[in-house]
């Protein structure tokens, strides 16, 4: 029996991992070891561990981080607590392979622990770029500690290989979020209203904004500019989802709560909608506004506009339905107006999502099985590729390495 450890630390990541979790649980030759940590275990972020339990997936281990603050020193201490928790788990509970997704800081401690215990690691969504985020460094670090890689586009597959990973262990499978859109039965508007409030009965905009962690203490000013634009457009209702537990995320969440309290007829804040609720909302929304990866990866499959603000998603492959803009109020306003124009909405209806794959979760589970059939604890070897080094003046044309 193959013991598959799967780590989840946030509501969004759990929603993406869910089809993989389901396939592992159903497999006759696999034993699911679901490990829950991070924001799932925090009351301030909705205690979303309860969603996992309601979905019927057995949680093997809960590893708290005690996220008392969103400031760097506190986050580092929380990561050390998490790292110690994973050491305890791996010491007493054997795992054949560990599956992780993405780039957030709470993924780094389990990967470090697994590396020290010589547990092979499978990484989903490697090779991507988010140049405005510390997540970029975390993602690439996880790639170098991982043995098996599942990327969402061919561009990202090539980048993982460029980082020295063996091509035979790097697979372009598409994005799990897009597979969820294709396989999940979504809620109708009436049910959305019953679960989350009457705003969903009107034309509405989904707003998700996270701090840009490499831009220190900019969140308040940037988000205020977004709120000013929202004020200009009372013809829409606004569904705010909360920021993650990144540095300054609490600043954004306080501003959301203050805005909703002052505009209860226009706006509502939702701590967690769950995967089905969120995807259902996307199917009816006028646009996605903010800087979340869901506006880049999932929204194009609904053929709706995304207004992507600032640098948080800088470097990601994007569809033609994504409008990039700066942080200034006038830049966000111009992008908003363009997004609701009939011309741009017609373009969105023809957009192809570059993150679409075929049988994404099935391929991941199949490749896990194939890998473990031959894996005997072999040491990783760096895969060198031929490329031209830049000349001293920074231009291409130097000697090949």
- pTM to 2 decimals? 0.87
- Mean pLDDT check: name the lowest of 22-31, 60-69, 126-135, 204-213: 126-135
pLDDT tens per residue across span 308-318? 999 999 989 99
pLDDT for 400: 46
Do residues 204 and 268 touch, judged by C-beta distance below 8 A?
no
pLDDT band at 401 (very low <50, low <70, confident <90, very high): very low
Average pLDDT in the chain = 93
Domains of the chain: 2-173+359-374 (3.40.50.2000), 187-349 (3.40.50.2000)
Asked if residue 130 has pLDDT above 50, the reply is yes
Query: Which pLDDT belongs to residue 387?
Result: 66
Q: How far apart are CA 246 and CA 71, in angstroms?
A: 8
User: Residue 388 pairs with which residues in a beta bridge?
Assistant: 400
Pick from 38-52, 151-165, 258-272: least confident: 38-52
Instruction: Tell me: pLDDT of 398 over 50.
Output: no
Task: Say if residues 39 and 13 touch (Cβ distance below 8 Å).
Answer: no
User: Within 13 A of 224's CA, how many CA atoms are on the CB side?
Assistant: 6
Beta bridge partners of 205: 238
**pLDDT interval class at 134 (50, 70, 90):** confident
pLDDT tens-digit profile of 322-379?
Answer: 999 999 999 999 999 999 999 999 999 999 999 999 999 999 999 999 999 999 888 8
143 pLDDT band (50/70/90 cuts)?
very high
pLDDT value of position 391: 58
Percent of the chain residues past pLDDT 90, beyond the cut: 81
User: What pLDDT does residue 394 have?
Assistant: 53
How would residue 399 be classed by pLDDT, with cut points 50, 70 and 90?
very low
Q: What is the pLDDT of residue 274?
A: 86
Q: What angle do CA 400, 139, 61 make, to 5 degrees?
A: 145
C-alpha pair distances (Å), 207 with each of 92, 96, 226, 375: 43, 40, 9, 44
pLDDT tens-digit map of 171-221: 999 999 999 999 889 999 999 999 999 999 999 999 999 988 777 778 899
Q: Which residues, at least 6 apart from 301, have a Cβ–Cβ distance to it below 8 Å?
A: 178, 181, 182, 353, 355, 356
C-alpha 235/C-alpha 202 separation (Å) is 9
């Amino acid at each position: 029996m193959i013991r598959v450890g799967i780590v989840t630390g946030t509501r969004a990541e759990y929603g993406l991992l869910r089809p993989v979790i389901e396939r592992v649980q159903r497999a006759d030759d696999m034993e699911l070891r679901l490990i829950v940590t991070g924001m799932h275990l925090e009351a301030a972020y909705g205690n979303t561990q309860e969603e996992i339990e309601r979905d019927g997936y057995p949680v093997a281990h809960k590893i708290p981080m005690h996220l008392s603050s969103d400031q760097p020193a506190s986050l580092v201490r929380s990561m050390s607590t998490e790292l110690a928790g994973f050491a305890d788990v791996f010491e007493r509970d054997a795992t054949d392979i560990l599956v992780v997704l993405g780039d957030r800081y709470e993924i780094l401690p389990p990967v470090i622990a697994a590396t020290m215990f010589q547990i092979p690691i499978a990484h989903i969504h490697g090779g991507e770029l988010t140049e405005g985020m510390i997540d970029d460094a975390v993602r690439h670090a996880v790639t170098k500690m991982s043995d098996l890689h599942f990327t969402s586009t061919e561009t990202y597959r090539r980048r993982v290989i460029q980082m020295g990973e063996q091509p035979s262990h790097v697979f372009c499978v598409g994005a799990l979020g897009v597979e969820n859109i294709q396989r999940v039965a979504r809620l109708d508007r009436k049910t959305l209203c019953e679960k989350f409030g009457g705003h969903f009965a009107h034309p509405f905009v989904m707003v998700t904004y996270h701090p840009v962690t490499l831009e220190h203490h900019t969140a308040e000013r940037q988000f205020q500019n977004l709120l000013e634009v929202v004020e200009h457009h009372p013809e829409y209702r606004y569904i705010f989802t909360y920021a993650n537990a990144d540095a300054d995320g609490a600043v954004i969440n306080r501003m959301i709560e203050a805005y909703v309290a002052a505009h209860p007829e226009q706006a509502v804040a939702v701590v967690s909608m769950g995967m089905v609720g969120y995807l259902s909302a996307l199917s009816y929304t006028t646009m996605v506004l903010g800087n979340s990866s869901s506006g880049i990866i999932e929204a194009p499959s609904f053929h709706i506009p995304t207004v992507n603000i600032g640098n948080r998603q800088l470097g990601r492959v994007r569809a033609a339905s994504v409008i990039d803009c700066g942080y200034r109020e006038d830049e966000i306003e111009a992008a908003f107006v363009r997004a609701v124009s009939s011309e741009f909405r017609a373009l969105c209806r023809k957009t192809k999502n570059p993150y679409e794959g075929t049988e994404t979760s099935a391929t991941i589970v199949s490749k896990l099985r194939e890998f473990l059939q031959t894996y005997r604890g072999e040491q990783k070897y760096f895969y060198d590729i031929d490329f031209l080094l830049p000349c001293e003046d920074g231009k291409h044309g130097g000697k090949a390495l």
